[in-house]
């Protein structure tokens, strides 16, 4: 059982549509990160959120950290084929050191032209 | 910066053989991690080092797996003897501190036949 549950597991949309990916846990995290992984490559960091309620924007991507620091969401506006990839949320438990990043199982996003 | 460098990119070996995976972290990164990724289990932390010292190896599956970090610029993950269930993509990652995010290598795809 993973500490971070991501939903949905798979998302297929048309170019121009919006999408939201969710990351939930019953545990409290000191910070949470989102990564994107493309085929044949390692995950690449997109953002780190630290404060409960924090919202960060990265071009068409909007990241939110829940008030209680137990959940997060990633919203993509007007998705493009280049947004295709495996989106992973990951967090540091408040009880763990900076060394143990807990990963969710990921959401596979496919954006078709 | 060349990023985290892993070798080989692909490895096919027969059951029972010894396999050694290699990693060169980013210079100045004090933390090094070994992860394994499969469809079934996602990204699993195997072991991590801080300043070349193993801190947590609780994710190492069994005694067949061992990892070393003889200096700040090199680490190995060894499997001896290898088994078909070890087939996975193995990632090495490094960071100067968790808040800054992990930088992953491109991974080694291991197939044990």
pLDDT digits (tens), chain B, 113 positions: 689 999 999 999 999 999 999 999 999 999 999 999 999 999 999 999 999 999 999 999 889 999 999 999 999 999 999 999 999 999 999 999 877 899 999 999 999 99
Residue B108 near residue B10 (C-beta atoms within 8 A): yes
In chain B, % helix, strand, coil (3-state, to 5) comes to: 5, 55, 40
Q: Specify the pLDDT at position A97.
A: 63
The SS3 of residue B16 is coil
Q: Is A39 on the interface with B (CB under 8 A)?
A: no
Residues A94/B29/B35/A33 CA torsion (nearest 10 deg)? 40
Q: Which of B42, B98, B104 sits opposite A99 (nearest CB)?
A: B98
Tell me which chain A residues have a C-beta less than 8 angstroms from the C-beta of B100. 48
What is the rounded CA–CA span in Å between residue A55 and residue A15? 24
- To which H or E segment does residue B75 belong? strand B74-79
From B42, B97, B99, residue closest to A106, measured CB to CB: B42
Chain B residue with minimum CA distance to A99: B98
Cβ within 8 Å, pair B45-A101: yes
pLDDT at A84: 97
Predicted confidence at residue B100, as pLDDT, reads 84
Query: Among all residues of chain B, which has the CA nearest to that of A106?
Result: B42
Q: Which of residues 5-24 of A touch B (CB under 8 A)?
A: none
Q: Which residues of chain A have pLDDT under 70?
A: 1, 95-99
Element (H, E) at A105: none
Residues of chain A with C-beta less than 8 angstroms from the C-beta of B50: 99
* Per-residue pLDDT at A2: 75
The confidence score (pLDDT) of residue B99 equals: 78
């Amino acid at each position: 059982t993973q500490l971070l549950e991501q939903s949905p597991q798979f998302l297929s949309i048309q170019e121009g549509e919006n999408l939201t990916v969710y990351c939930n846990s019953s545990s409290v995290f000191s910070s949470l990160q989102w990564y994107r992984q493309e085929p044949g490559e390692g995950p690449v960091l997109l953002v780190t959120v630290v404060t409960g309620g924090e919202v960060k924007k990265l071009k068409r991507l909007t990241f939110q950290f829940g008030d209680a620091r137990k959940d997060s969401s990633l919203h993509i506006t007007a998705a493009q084929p280049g947004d295709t990839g495996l989106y992973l949320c990951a967090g540091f438990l408040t009880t763990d050191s900076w060394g143990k990043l807990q990963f969710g199982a990921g959401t596979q996003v496919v954006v078709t032209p | 910066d060349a990023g985290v460098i892993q070798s080989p990119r692909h490895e096919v070996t027969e059951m029972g053989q010894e396999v050694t995976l290699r990693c060169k972290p980013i210079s100045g990164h004090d933390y090094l991690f070994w992860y394994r990724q499969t469809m079934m289990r996602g990204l699993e932390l195997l072991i991590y080092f801080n300043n070349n010292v193993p801190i947590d190896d609780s994710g190492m599956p069994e005694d067949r797996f061992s990892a070393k970090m003889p200096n700040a610029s090199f680490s190995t993950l060894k499997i001896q003897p290898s088994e078909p269930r070890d087939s996975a993509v193995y990632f090495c990652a490094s960071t100067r501190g968790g808040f800054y995010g992990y930088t992953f290598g491109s991974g080694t795809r291991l197939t044990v036949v």
